[in-house]
Chains A and B, each alone.
Chain A
Amino acid sequence: MISGFNIEEATTQKKKDLPRISGAEAVIRSFIEEGVETIFGYPGGAIIPVYDALYDYQDRLNHILVRHEQCALHAAQGYARASGRTGVCIVTSGPGATNTVTGLADAMLDSTPVVLISGQVASNTLGTDAFQEINFLEITQSVTKWNCQVKRAEDVPAAIAKAFYIAASGRPGPVVVDITKDAQNGMLDFDYQPVKFIRSYQPYREIDNDQILEAARLINLAKKPMALIGQGVILGGAENELKEFLEKSGIPAAATLLGLSALPSDHPQYVGMLGMHGNYGPNIKNRDCDLLIAIGMRFDDRVTGDASQFGINAKIIHLEIDPAEVNKLVYADVPIIGDVKQTLPMLTEKISQNDHTAWLNEFRVCYNIEREDIIEPAIARRGAHLRMGEVVDAVAQQFDDAILVTDVGQQQMFASRYFKFKQTRSIITSGGLGTMGFGLPAAIGAKIGAPERDVCLFVGDGGLQMTSQELGTIYQSQVGVKIILMNNGYLGMVRQWQELFYNHRYSFTELTNPDFELLAKANRIPYRCVERHEDLEDAIREMRETEGAFLLEMRVEKEENVFPMVPAGQPVTNIRLE
């Protein structure tokens, strides 16, 4: 008979000569066992014992004190996505816990591995509406991959081991371990056993070889195939496997927003970004495709537009680790369930060497149209004011191998369109949840997760003000984030929709802004403002050459629109160039 995973069972067998420590210290030592180096957190009443234990481990764990718990999560997300490791957060009960919900939801939708330890009131006061008590398990049920509550010190190591395994395996996601104060204070004999198996959770299944053969057959027959690269390639570390597949098959490849940088921007078969503000070719050619090979992506509506029309003339092969994503939005003729790191090479082995030059050239033609109509005008140094496209282009030229972090809105779309990627894990952006305020804390996490790389954050004036308190974190922890503030005095994306679809009725989208120079100075961050085209390069150079963080304010055109654009809910082939 199989033994189910039972925390209590696993921890009641008392062993001799194990260190006797508190539940709080067990939290810290479990982190060390899991190889954790950095924690993002914020202390509070119900988590003081853990912080007290942390006091003795400061030489082994780097704790970043954020200014708001939401940002602990976003920073952990940025850290996880830049480094490929699990992000770790600690917060207190009640408001500390509820503040993290947006971050958990963001990590859930964007499949980011995060472990959150939340303090909880003592177990004998649970359910009494005690001070700073909230039913956090219930609240986080739909925004976590898994959650649990620990009420006994001896259950701490097993719960944390399980949390780390669940967060990072299969399709990654956020996990919450809610620990009561008495469990933190109680004593246990510390014995850490990493979890590698849970009987009710089988994230890796046997790969169906028949589906591989059928997919290979379709690929070999296809005249106009297109590969759709999702974040699954990055999460699976399958960038090389992807390249080998593409180079053998000769198939043109487009990326989703989160799939950007899995393939270098200058790869000859890369044809651009999918989606609402993606490139012209991959959208307009959607109806011409006879085969779509979706690789670790989930057919988000921002990618598909009207899903019933998506790939209407194409067979669809869907390589996906999460069975629940298959046939959820778009019917897959050939589903291949598994980690793309495993399934892609199996597929590559079975396909024949091929060449799709003529088909690839059709995308080149589309690109040339887009370049002439959209890209060149967008990045040109022209007009009375700076524009976001030219700013992104100018930054990309001087930071040619940086991690791009964005906030949400117009700058996110301009940045993802015009930034260039050389290596993987080079884009960190809130794709699924579209969380304004994500950018600044995520950039902090990214820089800490990949200290050797430059981190460029593009953020709007609206988004920066949602989490601008984190400038204090940047100062205290000396995080060298390069912040490019696109200040147009509007909530630009909503304003664009109001202009295009709501008859220019700019309802509450105009911002009267604070003096960002003073904001930078208050946080002792070097600052410069650019208003004229001719100062752009020099200002970016100054930012690049300045050690550490920098806030570069770009006073950009107030009413600029992002194009191309697929109107929401319409087929992607209805993409508008103006």
Chain B
Amino acid sequence: MEKEFIITIFSENTVGLLSQITTVFTHRNVNIESFTASESAIEGIYKHTIIVKNDADKVANLVKQIEKKIDVLKVFCYTPNEVVLQELALYKVQRSRNVEDLVRRHNVRILDIHDDYIVLEKTGHKEEIRELYRMLEPYGVYQFVCSGQVAIIKSQRELLSEYLAYVDQRQKMLNEEK
């Protein structure tokens, strides 16, 4: 059965890494629902968050294939209830009293105000962002963009740090063998 999975990938920042990752998806004809990438909390290590809808077995295989890429440090896979997910959206809408009401009620930030339009920013769950879009639509949305989703895990364990500690230990062992 198809379910949503959040795959987080930690990697070195090498040229062509993105295509190394995406080739795993295209090879298996798996569609990417959302993709974000940025430097992680650890300098030099990049974090990619990919959301897919597929069955669990296929995603488990996908994760192993991504982790097999040489420049990928570690891959984790979560279900939506294991993470806090957020995305950010910008709306350029026509000014009107109705829009201003919506802004107040939906906890939306106003980024820019012009005579003809205002630019709104909302962060939240995908559903909230879509819902606001639907509500704004009747008053005229000129432009709409939204980011991919970013995720932070609910567990207290910092899995990447654990992996790095393990790798560090391996390297020390190797050096001692020499």
Binding site for B on A (CB under 8 A): 2, 4-5, 137-138, 141-142, 145-149, 166, 196-202, 322-324, 326-328
- Chain A residues with CB under 8 A of B73: 199-200
User: Given A197-B171, A199-B171: A328 and B70 within 8 A (CB)?
Assistant: no
**Which residues of chain B (99-130) have a CB below 8 Å from chain A?**
none
- Chain B residues with CB under 8 A of A146: 70-71
A200 near B44: Cβ-Cβ < 8 Å: no
What are 10 sample pairs from A and B whose C-beta atoms fall under 8 A apart? A141-B20, A145-B70, A147-B16, A197-B171, A199-B167, A200-B70, A202-B167, A202-B170, A326-B64, A328-B61
A2 near B164: Cβ-Cβ < 8 Å: yes
Stretch at the interface among B7-15, B47-55, B80-88, B143-151: B7-15
User: Given A324-B61, A324-B64, A327-B61: A137 and B16 within 8 A (CB)?
Assistant: yes
User: Given A198-B70, A199-B73: A323 and B171 within 8 A (CB)?
Assistant: no
A322 near B70: Cβ-Cβ < 8 Å: no
| CB-based nearest A residue for B24 | A142
B6 within 8 A of A: no
A322 near B19: Cβ-Cβ < 8 Å: no
Task: Say which residue of B14, B19, B164, B168 sits within 8 Å of A148 (CB atoms).
Answer: B14
- Chain B residues with CB under 8 A of A148: 14
B68 near A322: Cβ-Cβ < 8 Å: yes
In whole Å, how far is B35's beta carbon from the nearest beta carbon of chain A?
A: 17
| CB-based nearest A residue for B19 | A141
- Chain B residues with CB under 8 A of A138: 16, 19
- Chain A residues with CB under 8 A of B23: 141-142
Cα A197 to Cα B173 with chains together (Å): 11
User: Given A166-B70, A200-B73, A201-B70: A327 and B60 within 8 A (CB)?
Assistant: yes
Total residues of chain B contacting the partner, CB 8 A: 28
Cα A327 to Cα B62 with chains together (Å): 11
Please classify the interface of chain B as helix (H, G, I), strand (E, B), loop, or mixed, using the class held by over half of its residues. Answer: helix
| CB-based nearest B residue for A138 | B19
B65 within 8 A of A: yes
Task: Say which residue of B16, B45, B68, B167 sits within 8 Å of A141 (CB atoms).
Answer: B16
- Chain A residues with CB under 8 A of B41: none
User: Given A141-B20, A324-B64: A200 and B71 within 8 A (CB)?
Assistant: yes
B1 within 8 A of A: no
B67 within 8 A of A: yes
Interface centre among A323, A324, A327 (most CB of B within 10 A): A324
| CB-based nearest B residue for A329 | B61
**Which residues of chain B (56-82) have a CB below 8 Å from chain A?**
57, 60-61, 64-65, 67-68, 70-73
B44 near A4: Cβ-Cβ < 8 Å: yes
In whole Å, how far is B156's beta carbon from the nearest beta carbon of chain A?
A: 22
A324 near B67: Cβ-Cβ < 8 Å: yes
User: Given A146-B70, A199-B171, A202-B167: A323 and B64 within 8 A (CB)?
Assistant: yes
In whole Å, how far is B59's beta carbon from the nearest beta carbon of chain A?
A: 12
Please count the residue pairs between chain A and chain B whose beta carbons lie under 8 angstroms apart in the complex: 59
In whole Å, how far is B18's beta carbon from the nearest beta carbon of chain A?
A: 10
Cα A142 to Cα B16 with chains together (Å): 12
Q: Knowing that A138-B19, A327-B57 are A-B contacts, what are 11 other residue pairs whose CB atoms are under 8 Å apart, sorted by A's residue number? A: A4-B45, A137-B15, A137-B16, A141-B20, A146-B71, A196-B174, A197-B174, A200-B70, A323-B64, A324-B65, A324-B68
In whole Å, how far is A508's beta carbon from the nearest beta carbon of chain B?
A: 30
- Chain B residues with CB under 8 A of A326: 64
B97 within 8 A of A: no
Cα A201 to Cα B174 with chains together (Å): 14
User: Given A2-B168, A142-B23, A149-B15: A200 and B64 within 8 A (CB)?
Assistant: no
In whole Å, how far is A3's beta carbon from the nearest beta carbon of chain B?
A: 9
B157 within 8 A of A: no
Cα A248 to Cα B41 with chains together (Å): 52
B171 near A2: Cβ-Cβ < 8 Å: yes
Cα A146 to Cα B23 with chains together (Å): 13
- Chain A residues with CB under 8 A of B67: 323-324
Cα A146 to Cα B12 with chains together (Å): 13
In whole Å, how far is A35's beta carbon from the nearest beta carbon of chain B?
A: 18
Interface centre among A141, A323, A326 (most CB of B within 10 A): A141
Cα A202 to Cα B44 with chains together (Å): 19
B27 within 8 A of A: yes
Cα A473 to Cα B48 with chains together (Å): 48
User: Given A2-B171, A141-B23, A327-B60: A200 and B72 within 8 A (CB)?
Assistant: yes
B70 near A2: Cβ-Cβ < 8 Å: no
Cα A166 to Cα B69 with chains together (Å): 11
- Chain B residues with CB under 8 A of A166: 70
| CB-based nearest B residue for A142 | B23
In whole Å, how far is A93's beta carbon from the nearest beta carbon of chain B?
A: 17
- Chain A residues with CB under 8 A of B20: 141
B12 near A4: Cβ-Cβ < 8 Å: yes
| CB-based nearest A residue for B10 | A200
In whole Å, how far is A408's beta carbon from the nearest beta carbon of chain B?
A: 23
Cα A569 to Cα B147 with chains together (Å): 43
In whole Å, how far is A21's beta carbon from the nearest beta carbon of chain B?
A: 26
| CB-based nearest A residue for B60 | A327
- Chain B residues with CB under 8 A of A2: 164, 167-168, 171
Complex A-B, nearest 5 residue pairs according to Cβ-Cβ distance, in ascending order? A324-B64, A146-B70, A200-B73, A142-B23, A201-B70
| CB-based nearest A residue for B175 | A197
- Chain A residues with CB under 8 A of B12: 4-5, 200
| CB-based nearest A residue for B71 | A200
In whole Å, how far is A136's beta carbon from the nearest beta carbon of chain B?
A: 11
Cα A149 to Cα B57 with chains together (Å): 35
| CB-based nearest A residue for B169 | A2
Cα A572 to Cα B67 with chains together (Å): 32
Cα A515 to Cα B124 with chains together (Å): 74
In whole Å, how far is B37's beta carbon from the nearest beta carbon of chain A?
A: 16
| CB-based nearest B residue for A326 | B64
| CB-based nearest A residue for B171 | A197
Cα A294 to Cα B65 with chains together (Å): 20
- Chain A residues with CB under 8 A of B57: 327
- Chain A residues with CB under 8 A of B16: 137-138, 141, 147
In whole Å, how far is B44's beta carbon from the nearest beta carbon of chain A?
A: 6
- Chain A residues with CB under 8 A of B68: 322-324
In whole Å, how far is A431's beta carbon from the nearest beta carbon of chain B?
A: 19
- Chain A residues with CB under 8 A of B64: 323-324, 326, 328
- Chain B residues with CB under 8 A of A328: 61, 64
Cα A327 to Cα B64 with chains together (Å): 10
Cα A145 to Cα B57 with chains together (Å): 23
Cα A323 to Cα B74 with chains together (Å): 13
Cα A197 to Cα B64 with chains together (Å): 20
In whole Å, how far is A322's beta carbon from the nearest beta carbon of chain B?
A: 7
Cα A324 to Cα B27 with chains together (Å): 15
